[in-house]
Amino acid sequence: MKIKISPIICIIASLFLTGCTCSRVENAGSLKKVTFKSFYTDKPINIDGMLNEQVWKKSISYPLYISEDAVDAARKLNEAGEARFAWDDNYFYVAATFTDSDIVAQGRDDQMHHYQLGDVCELFLKPENENYYWELYVTPAENKTSFFFPSRGYLGLPSCFEEYKSGLTVAARTQGTLNDWHDKDQSWTAEMAMPIKDLQAYGAKFSPQASWKILIGRYNYSRYLQEVELSMTPQLSKTSYHLYEEYADLELIP
């Protein structure tokens, strides 16, 4: 008997294999040395999604890319994005800005697999000399998710999704209408604040003297795109957000 496979099932399966919570990770390609700088702020950032603090004005903007293999396949990035970083004694901060013609966020609760439910900004953080790492989300609807992987060998296990909790704080602002495909939107912005005490909970230090790796990933759903667009910074060789060998080095600037 010939079994027909739904195109929707194929799309969902491909997201698991290429994006966030994939159970299989491709081998890393050619490694490039990339460093992201994060500037210290002596004033705590108000997490409201507005990105109007002084530290964001002096911080470095890192643009998002599609992966190298996608470029080789003659694909292009349709909607741009960028990320900035900051830190203080208590938090590591991310600010992100995304061009978005159709802002989508259908998840209604925190701690969901939001990459399956609409637009999402993902932050991956990993101590360079440890196997464990974090996968943290913010959506345009201001929902958040915190996943923790004791190692990449734990990908797909329920404990990484269901049992971990963090003090992550997020906020977002939309320039357009959320979840209305009839009109055309402009963009959305987001801020994330991850407590340093959570990042140090398993022994790794988070300081200018410590070595950490970082990646920002984006899922972009849109009625104006032919398929879900996945982009990231730094640029990866493949669209697989768990290729931490290719993450950028994170430099904390005092």
The reply to whether 110 falls in a domain is: yes
The reply to whether 52 falls in a domain is: yes
**CATH number reported for the structural domain that contains residue 249 in this entry:** 2.60.40.1190
The reply to whether 249 falls in a domain is: yes
pLDDT of residue 153: 97
The reply to whether 45 falls in a domain is: yes
The reply to whether 16 falls in a domain is: no
**Do residues 186 and 100 touch, judged by C-beta distance below 8 A?**
yes
The reply to whether 23 falls in a domain is: no
Q: What is the pTM of this model?
A: 0.90
pLDDT of residue 15: 46
157-184 confidence digits (pLDDT tens): 999 999 899 999 999 999 999 999 999 9
The residue segments making up the domain with residue 246 are: 32-253
Q: Which of 133, 41, 159 is nearest to 95 (CA)?
A: 41
- Cα separation of 175 and 100, whole Å? 9
The reply to whether 25 falls in a domain is: no
Give how many domains the chain has, as a whole number. Answer: 1
17-38 confidence digits (pLDDT tens): 445 544 345 455 556 789 999 9
pLDDT < 70: residue spans in the chain: 1-31
